[in-house]
Amino acid sequence: MDKRIYAMCAASALAVTFLGAKVLGIGIIKHDDYTRAVLAQQKTTRAVAPIRGTIYDRNLIPLTDRSDELLHITDDASVAVGKGRAWLTVGARHKAGEISAHVTGYTANDGSGLSGIEKKYDDVLKGKHFYTVTYNADAAGRPLKDGQLIVDEKEIEKPNGVRLTIDYHIQKCVEDVMDAYIAKGAAVVLDTQSFDVLAMVSRPNYDTSAVSESLQSDGGELLNRALCAYNAGSVFKIVTAAAALEGNSAYAQRLFDCKGSFTADTHTFLCHKADGHGVEDFSHSFANSCNCAFYETALFVGGKKLTDTALKLGLGHKVLGWDSEESSGLIPRKAIFPTLEIINLGIGQGDILITPLQCALMAATVANGGVRKSVNIADSVTDSLGNTLYSIRKDDSIKAMSPTTAQAIASMMRLSVTDGTAKLAALSSVPIAGKTGSAETGWRSDDGTLKVHGWFCGFFPYENPRYALAVFCEDGKSGAESCIEPFVGICEKISHIYPLKQ
């Protein structure tokens, strides 16, 4: 009996000793191992920023990801900018003050493209990877105060990029000039040889790092006005002149007697010069933008030839094909036009709408001897290092007018600068050829006055054209007053960056 009691006591003591050792092992010796095991069950990995391919200018200067920013996880498990818990350095996709905002566009929180190049080439630029942070979290997903913080900074291959035709330096100088002169409007610069878009600027601008502010604004900052359609006004007289001169070069010497008004079908149409221009040939009527001469010319040409010529020059079509972001403008299409409609069409009024990009394209076609080429703003897809993988250019061309007609119009556009409505442009050190436009809209401004858009399009230098440029000012009242100075400013800045051969 005593032996049995002794054995039971011994067994109990041994069990207690074993359990004590086990508790000691769990609580002290293997504390760290078990702690790590528990915390491992609470690890949370967060994607804090998408990784997208870079958008470059024509010289591989980055237009996105131009700087870095710090991101971190806050105590409530949200992502914030700046140092903090589990912070890491990522490429800042867009920053305040960057150029080409309306061209590159912006992205959603998940990184998908919502406008501009970001949207058009989203399939190229989007990747499968994100910058990530791993941290220990409580049941609600909040970071533990004393939890382990792990930043995933391993090298991840970036997706492919897109190389644009935009020239960073030209884009910057156009933006600077537009900021100085035009609150609402647009400017587009095309290369007259390749028809590449070298600059595309819309104002007002928006902050690409704070898009939500512009979404809540009624100022239209997110609108790319270079791709929006507006009343054309007298820049359309380039079309009317081309229609009249094509196959009839002697029309340039035809005489008109402007007395300030023109009557057709018992309706009277006014010239912008109330007392008239008197007797002028067609070239000087173009240079002085005489409405009466162009009323008569429109009737001579006919509505069908007018609109067909406009379509050949690239009006009435989407130039880039940017879906909902780009307007095709409006050129009437029908076989027979009433007399009164033809008269209005001749001076760019009535059912005619064009975009600043189309206006620049029209000027480039004249400068290129009447041949209209495809306009490109995206050149190629690159790898993550900027090496070209494949071209995404369009390279078509059509003969919009004969070289003889193109040269005649070019001469008249130069005459407009030396002796016509665009004399202010003659002050430039660069020889400019251009056409002014003041387009009545039928709408009224906030102050009750009639809204009239200002235009000036042309090319430079005149003898050996290198650049075509269109400047548009919303409600600028007069193209001569609102658009020539910024046009000249852009010419001067570009010629300073890239000296011109004249």
d(CA 483, CA 460): 15
Helix (H, G, I), strand (E, B) or coil at 19: helix
Token pair in block for residue 201: 């600027």
Mean pLDDT lowest among 69-73, 160-164, 191-195, 280-284: 69-73
Query: What would the DSSP string read from start to end of 299-311?
Result: HHH-HHHHHHHHH
Q: Assess whether pLDDT exceeds 80 at residue 429.
A: yes
DSSP H/E element including 56: strand 55-56
Q: Which amino acid is located at 246 in the chain?
A: E
46 beta partners: 133
Topology of domain 42-162, CATH: Penicillin-binding protein 2a (Domain 2) (3.90.1310)
Report phi then psi at 60, rounded to 5.
65, 25
CATH (residue range 168-497): 3.40.710.10
Token pair in block for residue 39: 């915390």
d(CA 287, CA 266): 28
pLDDT band at 34 (very low <50, low <70, confident <90, very high): low
> What average pLDDT score do residues 240-268 get?
94
> What average pLDDT score do residues 257-285 get?
94
Q: Assess whether pLDDT exceeds 90 at residue 443.
A: no
In the prediction, which pLDDT does 92 show? 78
Mean pLDDT lowest among 148-162, 261-275, 487-501: 148-162
Question: 163 near 380, Cβ under 8 Å?
Answer: yes
Burial class of residue 243 in the structure, from the number of CB atoms within 10 Å of its CB (0-12 exposed, 13-18 middle, 19+ buried): buried
Question: 170 near 500, Cβ under 8 Å?
Answer: no
Most confident of 153-157, 174-178, 437-441: 174-178
In the prediction, which pLDDT does 133 show? 74
Q: Give the Cβ contact number of residue 192 at 10 Å.
A: 22
d(CA 462, CA 465): 6
Token pair in block for residue 102: 């309306």
For residues 87-109, one letter each, b for 16 or more C-beta atoms within 10 angstroms of the residue's C-beta and e for the rest, the string is bbebbbbbeeebbbbbbbbbbee
Token pair in block for residue 162: 């897109």
In the prediction, which pLDDT does 164 show? 98
Report phi then psi at 228, rounded to 5.
-95, 155
d(CA 28, CA 25): 5
Q: Assess whether pLDDT exceeds 60 at residue 36.
A: no
d(CA 212, CA 222): 10
Please report, for residues 243, 434, 463, 464, 485, the alpha-carbon distance to residue 502 in angstroms, rounded to integers and kept in the order given.
Answer: 30, 17, 6, 6, 21
In the prediction, which pLDDT does 210 show? 80
Query: What would the DSSP string read from start to end of 377-443?
Result: SEEEEE-TTS-EEEE-----EEE-S-HHHHHHHHHHHHHHHHHSTTGGGGGSSS--EEEEEEEEEEE
When comparing pLDDT for 265 and 31, which is higher?
265
In the prediction, which pLDDT does 362 show? 98
pLDDT band at 46 (very low <50, low <70, confident <90, very high): confident
pLDDT band at 165 (very low <50, low <70, confident <90, very high): very high
* Residue among 195, 179, 196, 178 at smallest CA distance from 187: 178
Helix (H, G, I), strand (E, B) or coil at 253: helix
In the prediction, which pLDDT does 149 show? 56
Could you tell me the pTM of the whole model?
0.88
Q: Locate the domains of the chain by residue range.
A: 42-162, 168-497
d(CA 47, CA 65): 18
Non-local CB neighbours of 357 within 8 Å, separated by 6+ positions: 188, 197, 200, 226, 227, 319, 320, 326, 375, 470
Q: How far apart are the first and last CA of the chain?
A: 125
> What average pLDDT score do residues 326-352 get?
95
Question: 276 near 409, Cβ under 8 Å?
Answer: no
Domain 42-162 and domain 168-497, same fold? Reply is no
